[in-house]
A = this chain, B = another copy of it.
Amino acid sequence: MVTGGAGFIGSHLIDRLVAEGDTVLVFDNLSSGQTSFIEHHLNSGAAEHIQGDLRNFEDVLSAMGQGVDRVIHLAANPDIRLGTRVTDTDLQQGTVSTYNVLEAMRRHDVKKIAFASSSVVYGEDAPLPTPENHGPCLPISLYGASKQAGEGLISSWVGTFGFQAWIFRFANIIGARGTHGVIFDFIHKLKKDSTRLEVLGNGLQEKSYMEVGDCVDAIVHVMKTTDDSLNLYNLGSHDTASVRRIAEIVVEVTGCNDARIEYTGGDRGWAGDVPRARLAIDKMLESGFDVSMNSEDAIRHTAEVLLKEIGLEE
C-alpha cells in the first residue's frame, strides 16, 4: 500500500514499484493527488486505487485487509503554510492519520512501514549539513511537528509491537507532477502576470533540492539494502540553491525575461519557514546510492517539465 500514492512523490514511486514487479494498492483521497498520474498502472492492473481518507480509521482498516504486506506512508497535508491558519490541519492529516495507518497495520498484522518524514523536523538551529543523529529536534512549523510526531509513533510501534520501519527525512523534493512548492508557485505567478514575480522573503533562503526520480530510487534502494528494525535516512542532494537563484532559473526557463523579481522581505518565506536547510547525506551515500542531479540541475529540470504541465497561457 502506498498512501498518497496518486500524489506527486507517490505516483513516481508507483512507477518504480510497478517496474520492480510489485502490485500496488494506492490509498489516496485525491485532495492533491490525481488518478491521471497513475492511470496507466490502474489500466494495466498493476495498481488499484482506493479513494479513502486516512483520517477515517474505518477506511484505512478496511483497505489494510486487502492483502497488504508493507506500507509506504507518504500522504500528508501538502500545504505547509495552511497549518499556520488552520492549526489542526497537520495534527489531523499528519499525526492522527499516521496513527490510523499504524493501528490498522497492527490489527492486520502488517509490520513493515516506510515513512516520508522531512528535513523540517530538525528546526532552524541545527548545524548544516544536518546528520540523522542531530538533537534535539525542535521543528518550527506545525507540519514539522506532525512529521516528528509520525516518526515517534512509528518508533513506538517498532519498540512495542515488533514493527520494522524505514524513516526518510526528505530534502525539498521537486520534479514532474509537482502539485506545490516554490517552482510550482513561481510558474503559476508568472502565468497570472508575466511582468512580475513576487518572492516571499528576501530570496536568501537556501535549501537543498532533490529530484523526485532520485528520491524514489533512494527509497527503493535503501529499503532493499537495509534490514534493521528501524532505519533512519536523510535523503537529499549534495548542495543547496537560494530562492533568488530559483526565481532567476524559472524566469529564464519560462522566457518571461521582462519579469521584475520582487521580494516581500524578511529572512523567511512565512512563519514556520526554515530559512536554511541542508541534509548530511553520508548515510545515504554509504548505502550505495547517489543522486543523478544536484540542486540546480533538479530545479532547472523541474522548471522545464512543470512549465509544460502548467503552461503559461490561461
Report A's interface with B, CB cutoff 8 A.
Answer: 83-84, 87-88, 91, 95-96, 99, 102-103, 106, 121, 123-124, 132-142, 144-146, 148-149, 151-153, 155-156, 158-161, 230, 232, 271-272
Contacts and interface: CB of A to CB of B under 8 A. Distances in A.
A140 B153 contact: no
Given A88-B99, A96-B91, A99-B91, A156 B141 contact: yes
Contact of A155 (B95, B133, B145): B145
13 contacts: A123-B159, A124-B159, A136-B137, A136-B232, A137-B137, A138-B159, A139-B156, A139-B159, A140-B159, A145-B156, A148-B151, A156-B272, A160-B271
B159 A148 contact: no
A267 B87 CA distance: 41
Contacts of A123: 155, 159
- Among A124, A136, A144, A271, residue most surrounded by chain B Cβ atoms (within 10 Å): A136
A106 to B, nearest CB: 7
A159 B272 contact: yes
Contacts of A88: 99, 103
A69 to B, nearest CB: 21
Contact of A87 (B83, B95, B103, B124): B103
Contacts of A103: 87-88
B153 A145 contact: yes
- Among A137, A156, A161, residue most surrounded by chain B Cβ atoms (within 10 Å): A156
- Among A96, A139, A152, residue most surrounded by chain B Cβ atoms (within 10 Å): A152
A102 B142 CA distance: 12
B135 A136 contact: yes
A149 B153 contact: yes
A288 to B, nearest CB: 22
A139 B230 CA distance: 11
A150 to B, nearest CB: 9
A292 B96 CA distance: 41
A145 B152 contact: yes
Contacts of A156: 139-142, 144-145, 272
Q: Which 8 A-B pairs have the closest CB atoms?
A: A135-B135, A140-B159, A149-B149, A148-B152, A145-B156, A145-B152, A160-B272, A138-B155
